[in-house]
Amino acid sequence: MSEESKTAAEQDENAARRMVQEIVERNATCHKSDDDAQMIRKAFELANDAHRGMRRRSGELYIFHPVAVARIVAEEIGLDATSVAAALLHDVVEDTELTLPDIEQMFSPSVAHIVDGLTKLDVVIDQHESLQAENFRKLLVSMIEDVRIILIKLADRLHNMRTLESLPDHKRYRIAAETLYIYAPIANRLGLYAIKTELEDLSLKYEQPKAYQDIYDRLQTFKRDFQVVIDSVMVPLRKRLDERGYKYEIKARTKSIYSIWRKMQNKGVQFEEIYDIIASRVVFEPKEGMEEKTQCWDIYSILTDLFRPNPDRLRDWVSTPKSNGYEALHTTVMSPEGRWVEVQIRSKRMDEVAERGLAAHWKYKGEKGDSEIDAWLEGLKKMLDNASQNSMEFMDAFKLNLFSQELMVFTPHGDTRMMPAGSTALDFAFALHSNLGFHCIGAKVNYKLEPLSYVLKSGDQVEIITSDNQKPKYEWINFCTTAKAKTCIREAFREYRRQTIEKGERKVAEELSKVKLSVNARIIQKMLSHYHFDSKDDLYYSIGSGTTDVDGLEKALRQNSTSKWIKFWHLTFGDKKKTDLPQEEDEDHDLVMPKGKNVILSDDDGQQKYNIATCCRPIPGDDIVAYIEDDGSMTLHSRTCPEALKLMSSQGNRIVSAQWESHKVLSYLVEIEVNGIDRQGVVAEITGLIASELHVKMRSVSFEGHDGIFVGSILLYTYSAADLNTLIEALKKVKGVHGVSRKETKTDNK
Ligand code: MN
């Protein structure tokens, strides 16, 4: 290293050191005592020595990363000095020579414990640049052991997202997808709204750059009018609040880019149609001698004396806080220019809880133990103890648990319970007690009889009706949405399946004993091939449940089956492949996956090497990703497909970014929807246009009409997104046709 660059590096190190000093000085949590400040400085020096010479991909000295994470931990989450020290050391054990015992000796067991948790998470997450489903449990276990671990991990992820620019494309997609799928919801669940919002916006920026930029630009234009609107509401409001002796702060901002995008997607509306883009906040210093809640309503009444509120937009999180601790009163009023402005009214304490989440919550509530979040973590622990779930199921269950929107449901006795949005009567039954769920036959909702599948609304009073004769049915899975209900039902059926398999086993043993035989591997092999089952359990289950009859068993065994040999051959072949190449497996994967590059797929190179996912049916021209199947073939998904998002998050190392060229050799199946005003001959005109004029092949057509309106669905073959658009535009010109759209996979609200 030359003298010059050495000094440059030293200068950088000094800059990092100054940043740490600033963190200590600016944050009360970092200098509660001299020891705290001392510990943080020491952690910095140790990390600095350990990472010396390392650089991030951006070219920046590595130490700036842990320092930036420490700053987020201190300033944006508000954690204690132990956490700040651990944040500085978070990459040390994994990336350098230092060991955990070293850290424990130099610092404290709690710092070492947190660093240990973070290192374990890094090993499971970062090695493959993506969180793998089977390791997901570990992340949650660490979260329960010490919530600071996951909070620092969130800070780490936030800084990585802020600096994602310098990574190659394919890594960005994975990290962004995973952030959206897991980290943002966790931040939300823990009440860290500011971090959640930033994570979402950054994910969108890398996942959907065009959509992001478009909304960003529109917001810039919008902001020119923004101040005028805000002032027209806030100037009169300030005057009244001053007269009443309130001390307060008013903040105004626009909705986040991601939440605007979500709204446009979910409601199918344009930017201009979103009416609540402006959100403002009145944060007051509570006056002595009056409850905070009362003061919220007082300010509400001052505001609504001045401006007309929208009655549908009142949200009272003051009387019933959200389960993540959020408290505030939300209302939307009409400005003199005729624009809706959302106003959130909260005390300073409520605001801090909203911004910093549970860290602030504990600060006000004393140590942990009494908050809803603790109850949630407790519930999570129970889920984790339930070891029989497979990891994908578990991940889904956990995702369900992260629902942010909530509704309040009343029991017949007037008790309330918060339920995730989308919950059904059956979910509610399971939430009260698993036995209520299992025997539930329906519910009285506001005194009216409703089925199990009734979707709850906020404020519903629900009485669960049970019957001793009722037994859980597996289809129930389809109309419940909460993790608790789904887990209970799966559990019940796992138990049922186990018992049925045992019953099948007994039946077979009985049948065989009649001819003085007992079960052995050869007999099982014969039975499998005779009854066409792949596994012993499936066979026994089928026999146990009475679907497969064992009466002919003896005859079956006597038959000299030829297919047995085919099976046998098949099995050895399958095994050989696995046992012979265990060490090469990883490399094998590397060969299959062209890392670091977009795969270019084309439909004119003779043989199609890919499959089209049936969930989203992408066509050339769509933004796509490719998922590498076990056999090395690729399945193409649309980049916005929820299934693809899940795969990117859970098995990101098998996802590659792909581009698709069409040479109009192959055509692809898509479904379009047409609706409009019914008139004689309109269907014939539509199909005629598609088939004869545009020469597009259709696979199926179905039209339904009632009350003068028709809705049609057409499955047809197209070469590319561009061709499809031409067709859609042509159809829109048919007289009476109101809307034509490509049918997308439904994005569920998760
Ligand atoms: Mn890191």
What's the gap in Å between 157 CA and the centre of ligand 1?
7
What's the gap in Å between 66 CA and the centre of ligand 1?
6
How large is the average pLDDT for residues 114-142? 61
The pTM assigned to this predicted structure is: 0.58
In this structure, what DSSP letter does residue 693 have? I
Length in residues, the chain: 750
Task: List all residues 6 or more positions away from 189 whose beta carbon is below 8 Å from its beta carbon.
Answer: 324, 376, 401, 402, 404
What's the gap in Å between 73 CA and the centre of ligand 1?
13
In this structure, what DSSP letter does residue 131 have? -
More confident residue, 272 or 125: 272
Residue of 94, 126, 292, 316 marked active site: 94
Task: Let me know the angle formed at the C-alpha of 113 by 108 and 116, rounded to the nearest 5 degrees.
Answer: 125
In this structure, what DSSP letter does residue 75 have? I
Mean pLDDT over all residues of the chain?
79
| Predicted local confidence at residue 568, as pLDDT | 33
The most confident of 104-118, 377-391, 562-576, by mean pLDDT: 104-118
Confidence of residue 450 (pLDDT cuts 50, 70, 90): confident
- Please identify every residue whose CB atom is under 5 Å from ligand 1, which is an ion: 91, 156
634-638/624-628 β-pairing: antiparallel
What's the gap in Å between 65 CA and the centre of ligand 1?
7
Confidence of residue 345 (pLDDT cuts 50, 70, 90): very high
What's the gap in Å between 380 CA and the centre of ligand 1?
26
Structure-token match 């009485």, residue found = 463
Element (H, E) at 417: strand 416-420
The most confident of 73-77, 91-95, 233-237, by mean pLDDT: 233-237
- 565 has pLDDT over 50: no
| Predicted local confidence at residue 361, as pLDDT | 55
| Selection from 406, 378, 369, 326 nearest residue 749 by Cα | 406
- Using a pLDDT cut of 90, give the percent of the chain over it: 19
Q: What is the pLDDT of residues 183-221, one digit of tens each?
A: 888 887 777 888 999 999 999 999 888 999 999 999 988
- CB neighbours (10 Å) of residue 418? 17
Confidence of residue 226 (pLDDT cuts 50, 70, 90): confident
What's the gap in Å between 3 CA and the centre of ligand 1?
29
- 127 has pLDDT over 50: no
What's the gap in Å between 34 CA and the centre of ligand 1?
27
- 572 has pLDDT over 50: no
Residue of 22, 95, 298, 374 marked active site: 95
Q: What is the pLDDT of residues 39-90, one digit of tens each?
A: 999 999 999 999 988 888 888 899 999 999 999 999 888 888 889 999 999 9
More confident residue, 415 or 282: 282
Task: Let me know the angle formed at the C-alpha of 528 by 523 and 531, rounded to the nearest 5 degrees.
Answer: 120
- CB neighbours (10 Å) of residue 522? 10
- 667 has pLDDT over 60: yes
Element (H, E) at 210: helix 209-243
**How are strands ordered across the β-sheet holding 448-450?**
448-450, 440-445, 462-466
Distance CA 252, CA 280 (A): 4
What's the gap in Å between 37 CA and the centre of ligand 1?
22
Return the structure tokens found at 387.
């070891």
- 470 has pLDDT over 70: yes
What's the gap in Å between 643 CA and the centre of ligand 1?
28
Return the structure tokens found at 581.
């190449």
Distance CA 412, CA 446 (A): 9
- 93 has pLDDT over 60: yes
- 563 has pLDDT over 60: no
| Predicted local confidence at residue 608, as pLDDT | 57
More confident residue, 115 or 568: 115
Task: Let me know the angle formed at the C-alpha of 333 by 329 and 339, rounded to the nearest 5 degrees.
Answer: 140
Distance CA 92, CA 46 (A): 9
- 34 has pLDDT over 90: no
Return the structure tokens found at 38.
């001392």
What 3-state DSSP class applies to 551? coil
Task: List all residues 6 or more positions away from 738 whose beta carbon is below 8 Å from its beta carbon.
Answer: 675, 676, 677
| Predicted local confidence at residue 747, as pLDDT | 38
How large is the average pLDDT for residues 81-110? 88
| Predicted local confidence at residue 228, as pLDDT | 87
- 137 has pLDDT over 70: no
What's the gap in Å between 21 CA and the centre of ligand 1?
20
| Predicted local confidence at residue 589, as pLDDT | 32
Q: Catalytic residue at 554?
A: no
Residue 628's DSSP bridge partners are 634
One-character DSSP codes across 284-341: EEPPTTS-HHHHHHHHHHHHHHHS-B-GGG-EETTTS--TTS---EEEEEE-TTS-EE
Q: What is the pLDDT of residues 150-188, one digit of tens each?
A: 889 899 999 999 999 888 877 888 788 878 877 888 887
Q: What is the pLDDT of residues 401-442, one digit of tens each?
A: 554 456 778 888 777 777 887 899 999 999 889 889 999 888
- CB neighbours (10 Å) of residue 311? 8
Return the structure tokens found at 9.
């590096």
Task: Let me know the angle formed at the C-alpha of 93 by 91 and 96, rounded to the nearest 5 degrees.
Answer: 90
**Phi, psi (degrees; rounded to nearest 5) at 286:** -60, 140
Distance CA 472, CA 479 (A): 12
Confidence of residue 373 (pLDDT cuts 50, 70, 90): low
- CB neighbours (10 Å) of residue 507? 18
| Predicted local confidence at residue 424, as pLDDT | 92
Distance CA 308, CA 368 (A): 41
The most confident of 117-126, 161-170, 367-376, 676-685, by mean pLDDT: 161-170
Distance CA 723, CA 743 (A): 15
| Selection from 524, 549, 546 nearest residue 537 by Cα | 524
How large is the average pLDDT for residues 363-378? 53
Q: What is the pLDDT of residues 576-621, one digit of tens each?
A: 333 333 333 333 333 333 344 456 666 555 455 677 887 777 887 7
Q: What is the pLDDT of residues 498-525, one digit of tens each?
A: 888 899 999 888 888 887 777 887 888 8
Q: Measure the CA dihedral 137/139/144/147, to 10°.
A: -160
Confidence of residue 136 (pLDDT cuts 50, 70, 90): low
Q: Catalytic residue at 95?
A: yes
Secondary structure of 582-609 in HEC code, one letter for each residue? CCCHHHHHHHHCCCCCCEEEECCCCCCC
